[in-house]
Each structure stands twice: as C-alpha cells, then as structure tokens.
C-alpha cells in the first residue's frame, strides 16, 4: 500500500491561550518529483468531500510544497480548542490533483493520525486532532 506517514503533535503556545502549535511531520516521501499537497480540515462536511477526493473542497488552510526531501516538517498555528483533520497527497505528475483509478488513488496519500479505513476511507473520529 502506498501511503505517506503523518505524525502530529499539538502543543500550546502560551498557557491559557487559544492558539496552539500543530507539528506536522510527513514521512515516506519516496520520490522527489512533483509536489506535496496538504489540506487542514475543521468540519465533517469538508472531511466527507475530501475523503472522496472531491477537488472542490475548501480547507481552512492549504499548502503545496516541493517534494524534494524524504520527509517534511511543518509547524501550524491553529486554535487548539477545535478539532482538525489533515489530508496529504503527493502529486507526482504535477497536474494539481490526485489521480484516481478504479480502486482509489494512484498517487501516495495519507490522513492525520496515519488513519486507515477497511475497504473505505477512515472515519473522521480516527484522524481528528
């Protein structure tokens, strides 16, 4: 199975502050071709669209980074009192979308918490921070 491993750690910036730092580590990037796309999601409706690889989702934060290293580390400043899910995919051919086949994505992808589903995408509860 091709997947990208996501490791996340959420910590507080200041005691009593609503902002926190989310540390995102993306590992197992096996090719330096193309770009890594990252979507930070904060509600179940957007998550349901994202796991179907709907190209019209509106994440609260999105990033695109060159896939030039075997791993990436990113620090995000987010409200620590809200739940978040993160979806990442490796756009190897740089067509700005995840390529889909009959059985699902043809390009590497991953969810926060390294969540996986059994013959279906993971439920939002398994990958929310």
pLDDT in tens, the chain (129 residues): 355 555 555 544 444 567 778 888 888 899 999 999 998 988 888 877 877 777 778 888 889 999 988 999 888 888 878 888 888 899 999 998 889 888 888 999 888 776 555 545 555 554 554
Kindly list the domain boundaries of the chain, sorted by start residue.
5-112
Burial 86-114 (b: 16+ CB within 10 A, else e): bbbbbbbeeeeebeeeeeeeebbbbbbbb
Fold type of domain 5-112: Immunoglobulin-like (2.60.40)
CB 44 within 8 A of CB 101: no
Q: Global pTM?
A: 0.78
> What is the strand order of the sheet 72-79 is part of?
5-12, 19-27, 72-79
């Amino acid at each position: 199975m091709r997947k990208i491993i996501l490791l996340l750690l959420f910590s507080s910036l200041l005691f009593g502050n609503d902002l926190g730092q989310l540390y995102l580590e993306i590992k197992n990037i096996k090719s330096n071709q193309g770009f890594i796309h990252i979507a930070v999601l904060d509600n179940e409706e957007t998550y349901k669209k994202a796991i179907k690889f709907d190209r019209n989702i509106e994440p609260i934060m999105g990033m695109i980074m060159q896939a030039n290293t075997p791993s990436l580390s990113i620090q995000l400043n987010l409200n620590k009192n809200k739940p978040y899910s993160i979806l990442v995919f490796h756009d190897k051919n740089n067509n700005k979308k995840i390529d889909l086949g009959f059985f699902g994505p043809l390009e590497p992808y991953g969810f926060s918490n390294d969540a996986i589903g059994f013959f279906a995408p993971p439920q939002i509860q398994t990958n929310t921070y």
